[in-house]
Structure formats: structure tokens, C-alpha cells
Structure 1
Amino acid sequence: MDLTAPQGAQRYLRYVAIERGLSANSQAAYRRDLEAYAAWLETRELENLAEVTQDTLASYVAELAAQDLASASITRRLSTVRGMHRFLFDEGLLPENVATTVRTPKRAQRLPKALPIEEVEALLAAAGGEDPVALRDRALLELLYASGARVSEVTALDVDDLLAAPDHDDAWGDPEHALEEGGFLRVTGKGAKQRIVPYGSYAGRALAAYLVRARPAMVAHGRGTPALFVGPRGARLSRQSAWLVIRAAAERAGITAEVSPHTLRHSFATHLLAGGADVRTVQELLGHASVTTTQIYTQVTADTLRERYIEAHPRAK
């Protein structure tokens, strides 16, 4: 049977959504990658996916590389295309899987950017204030750094995902008392996998102040929502709005380094490892499926150890 790239993409997208349970963000990324691939095939006048060969895919990779795309972007796009070809072959919709021998460009390893502890503290302090939005922003930033959760994971939290310490589990009538020693988050990560992540007293007190003195008034302007973090009109806070909060706090703190939505997550991991936490623990807290993803942070810590060694050892220089 003839199967066009858009038709094959639709079948594959249904599969990853239903069978693999990928998040909405991941599904959107897959869709963009496959739409770009389909558009490229159309320029080559290849309407039937059965006509695609190994040389075709090699040409596609070469053209992506010629666009000066980052190797990580090329790797992701090719991974999506390979996944679709493999799925369609396994389903008997293609005569062969031509993507098996296509090589992924070697990915340059980039160290994550983390802020020094002093700059993180300045960033958090810059979000201070007593008005409702300032209380929310401080709670948001404190929780991001305390938990290492992704921005999308934190903005997806509901109030019920915020857990007090075990000896305060019946104290929600008094959040300031319940959260003063910190507690736990029920975080839903990639692939809808849930994990429990602790947070400390600083985040706990900031959350309590927000829940008592800010969130009720904000929610009253909306139609009611279970969302933990909301905007002034009572709707769930978006990832884009959270990013603006981070950027504004960085500007007020006078931080010259580039600060991205992942900066506090990177700082969380780097500071934990530098403080003596083991890689497996950090892996669980970050929600990484493989410890190899987490091990990149050990290189950052090793650099710090080397600097201290050179400064302190009499025969290091």
C-alpha cells in the first residue's frame, strides 16, 4: 500500500501518545520533527514512504548538518524519524526499515550552566516583596531551586501535589505550621512518570506565605483551579510566564550570566553533588531515566575539586 509521510506520521503520533504515554510537550516536538521531514520529502518528490532509501535518509542528515543546526537538534530529529520508520515497519506498513543503518551525528557534550550559590541566593532575594505576585514569584523560584524540578513540572503542579512533612500531614488548616520544615512534592515528569521530591524549609516558608496571603485572592478572580501556581486572574501559570519571572529576577539581581528556565535545575544538581550527594540520589531527584544523563554534572564538580586542589596543594602547580 502507498503510505505518505503525513499518513505515517499520524499513525506514529497516535502510537506514542496512547501506547507510550508521552507528554503533550514531547508529542508536539515529535509532530514538528515529522512535519519538517515530510516537507523535505515533498521537495524530493517522494510521496510514498516505501520509496525512501538509506541514501535518502543520509541525504536528509547531511542537509540538516548544512543548516548549522546543533548536533543535539539533528540527533533529536533523526531519532524521531528513525522511530517512525521502525514503528511502521514493525506494523507491516513498510517493506523494510531503512533507518537501521543511518548514523546519528556524534553529539558534542556540553556542560550544564549552573550559577554559584551566591548568585542563586541573590536571584531568590530579588524576588522578595509582600504583594501577591511577589509572594508567588518567591515561592516559585524557591521551589524550583529546592526541588530541581523542570519548569514545566512545577507549573503543572496542583495544590494536592504539595505534601507536608509526615508529622504535619493533618495541618492544612495552618499551612505556615505545616510547611515550616519543608515537605515533599508529587512531580509528574516525562512519560507521565511520578516521583516524590523533597523540599526544604526555605521553600516551605515561601510556599506557606504564598498559599495564605496571595493565592486565595488570585484564585477568587478565576473560575477555580487546582493549580498550585496561578496568575493574577486565577488561571494556571504558564511555562512562558514562569520563564519571565526567572529572567526578571536575574535582571534585578544583576546577574550577567545567561539564565534560562533550566538554570535553577542545573544549579540544584551541581550544588548537591558538590555538597556530597551521590549520583544515584541526584538521578532520582531529577527524574532521569538513566544515570548517564546525570553523570555530566560530575564533570562540573570535578572542575571545582581541581581548582581547590590547585589552590591548596603545595605541589599542584
Structure 2
Amino acid sequence: MRISEAAEAFAAHLADVRRLSPATARAYRADLADLARAAGDLEVSEVDLEHLRDWLWRAAQRGDARSTLARRTSSARGFFAWALESGLAGSDPSLRLVTPKKGRTLPRVATADGLAEMLDAARSAAEEGDSIALRDHAILELLYGSGMRVAELCGLDLADLDLDRATARVLGKGSKERVVPFGAPARRAAEAYLVRARPVLAARADDESRALLLGARGRRIGPRAVYDLVARTVGPLVGSSAVGPHALRHSAATHLLDGGADLRAVQEILGHASLGTTQIYTHVSSERLAAAYRLAHPRA
């Protein structure tokens, strides 16, 4: 079987057996399609270590980021391990492939004061009663108040929100479920949206949706609409229009640690599989502390 054909079977395996998200399966499929082009779509059994090294070298030459090269290495390893188990290859050429080290970049984080002003403005706009403004206020408060991912937010159903306990049940990466808390401002914004806006939006669709957050046409809101909202409202706070909902997740995590929250508690809230992933926010806090020292201390 050629690489391109095997890649499709592998993507189906990821989605059906390993239950990986559609986005992850698409990333694997795209990486392997690029490998097929670079290697001339050989039979899987004909691919060797030099083919893989040449593929990664070409990617590096065209300027792919180290994080992209690392992901492609991971894609190749997963694919050839599966190919070996499936009998499509007699050996695994990816075993000796070296994973490029990812460059560590600190995430963009908005200040607590800046976010407070932005959320106050969103609340003021929502008080005028516009359905979209009410929904947008709820989105921003829930993202910042809980630190959830945009896919988790968009995937929320009505039954997933517990306003009495101020918690939401979300389905994270790898189909792992967790319960995240949020604060009183997010609860008030969600209540206002549910009472004053959602019925208006739901009436615009032909069928009744279980989704918590609805778009202008009454159907479940998509990530693109949330990205546009965050770029418009949070972008100016971090000095970039190319900012997504993760900016609020980064900010929530950093502000939790700044306030004295335990690192493992933040890991649980964010749904990180590894504590090492959460530790990036301790570096953000340290950078902010150092910046404040340099600005304020007379002997800095």
C-alpha cells in the first residue's frame, strides 16, 4: 500500500479507534500527505530513514517552524508504528528519527486591569439588550473565568452548564471530560444570555439545538466567530490583532498563579495532561515580575 492510501486508513484509525479529535486526525493526514509528495508516494514498506530525514530537511529549508517539524516527526512515528502493527511495513524507519526541539515562546497575556475594562465594556453593551452582545459578553466571561479551550466552549450543551454550582462540564483533548469552575461575573453573564438572548437566537433556526451558545442563525456557534470576537476585544490589550481565544486561557492561568493558586490545581482546571505544559505560566509570571522590578526599583 502506498503512503497516501495508508495515510487515509491511519487517519480513520485515529478517529475511530483512538478517538482523537477531528482536528488532530486532519493534522496527521496533512503531514503524511506532505511526506507522500516528498517521497514520491512510495510503498510504505519502501520508506527508509533517509527518506524521512530528507522530508524534514526540505521542510526546514522552506522555513517551517521547529514546532511544525516536531509535530511532523511525531506524525511519522505514529504512522509507522501503526504500519508495523498492521503488517504494511517490515520495520519502523522512524525509530532513529531525532525530534527537533521546540522553541519555547511565552504566550501573550493581557493584564487583569485591561481585561476588567474590556469585560466592563462588554457588560455595558449587553445591558442594552442586543442578543449578540449578550452572547458575546457570556463568551468572554466564560473563556476568561474558566480558562477553557475554544473547542470546549463551542461544544458545550445546555445540560453541561450548572449555574447553581458555577461549573461547566467540558470535553477536552482526547475526549477527556472534566468539570471547570467559573466566577460570579461569568455566572451572571450566562444567566442574562440564557434568559434574554438565547430564546431569541434559537427561534431563528428550524430545529431546536441543544447547544449552549448559538450563532446569529440560531445554530451552534463555531470557533471562527469566537476567534473574531476575541481578536476584536482582546487583541488591542496584547498589541496584536492575530490573537485567538487562547489569549484568555493564557491570561486566566497566569492570573491564577499570580494570585497564589497551586500549580497542580491550575493543571486540573486547564486539563493539561502534563504538569510541564502548565509550568510555562510560571515563566510568564516570572517575566512579569522581572518587568515590574525593572520599571519600579531605583537600583534595577
* Structure-2 separation of matches of 1:38 and 1:73: 17
Please give the secondary structure, in 2, of the residue aligned with 1:12.
helix
* Structure-1 separation of matches of 2:174 and 2:198: 29
Change (3 A) 1:283 1:254: closer
The 5 A counterparts of 1:146-225 are 146-166=145-165, 183-222=166-205, 223-225=207-209
The 5 A counterparts of 1:75-154 are 75-127=70-122, 128-129=125-126, 130-154=129-153
Q: TM-score, structure 1 length as denominator?
A: 0.87
Deviation of 1:122 (Å): 2.7
Q: Which residue identity lines up with residue 218 of structure 1 in the other structure? A: L
Q: Deviations over 1:204-249 (max 9, x none)?
A: 0000110000000110111110011101221111100111111222
Deviation of 1:254 (Å): 6.9
* Structure-2 separation of matches of 1:255 and 1:121: 14
Worse-matched range after superposition: 62-71 or 119-128: 119-128
Q: Residues 6 and 35 of structure 1 are in contact (CA less than 8 Å); yes or no, is this contact kept in structure 2?
A: yes
* Structure-2 separation of matches of 1:244 and 1:211: 22
* Aligned match for 2:31, one of 24, 30, 33: 33
Please give the secondary structure, in 1, of the residue aligned with 2:193.
helix
Q: Deviations over 1:11-51 (max 9, x none)?
A: 21122112211112211222222222222222xxx521211
Give the aligned partner of residue 267 of structure 1: 251
Change (3 A) 1:78 1:213: same
Q: Which residue identity lines up with residue 138 of structure 2 in the other structure? A: A
Deviation of 1:158 (Å): 0.6
* Structure-1 separation of matches of 2:199 and 2:296: 53
* Structure-2 separation of matches of 1:256 and 1:6: 42
Runs of at least 5 residues in structure 1 that lack an aligned partner in the other structure: 167-182
Give the aligned partner of residue 180 of structure 1: none
* Structure-1 separation of matches of 2:180 and 2:237: 30
Q: Residues 49 and 94 of structure 1 are in contact (CA less than 8 Å); yes or no, is this contact kept in structure 2?
A: yes
* Aligned match for 1:304, one of 285, 288, 299: 288
Deviation of 1:7 (Å): 2.2
Q: Which residue identity lines up with residue 213 of structure 2 in the other structure? A: F
Task: Find runs of 4+ consecutive structure 1 residues off by over 6 angstroms.
Answer: 311-314
Q: Residues 108 and 238 of structure 2 are in contact (CA less than 8 Å); yes or no, is this contact kept in structure 1?
A: no
Q: TM-score, structure 2 length as denominator?
A: 0.92
Runs of at least 5 residues in structure 2 that lack an aligned partner in the other structure: none
* Structure-1 separation of matches of 2:153 and 2:11: 26
Deviation of 1:260 (Å): 2.1
* Structure-2 separation of matches of 1:257 and 1:126: 19
* Structure-1 separation of matches of 2:28 and 2:233: 33
The 5 A counterparts of 1:53-72 are 53-72=48-67
* Aligned match for 2:271, one of 287, 298, 309: 287
Q: Deviations over 1:160-195 (max 9, x none)?
A: 1101234xxxxxxxxxxxxxxxx1000101111100
Number of equivalent positions: 294
Q: Residues 110 and 238 of structure 2 are in contact (CA less than 8 Å); yes or no, is this contact kept in structure 1?
A: no
Deviation of 1:255 (Å): 6.0
* Aligned match for 1:19, one of 4, 17, 20: 17
* Structure-2 separation of matches of 1:286 and 1:24: 20
Please give the secondary structure, in 2, of the residue aligned with 1:113.
coil
Q: Residues 52 and 94 of structure 2 are in contact (CA less than 8 Å); yes or no, is this contact kept in structure 1?
A: yes
Deviation of 1:303 (Å): 2.0
Identity %: 39
Please give the secondary structure, in 1, of the residue aligned with 2:107.
coil
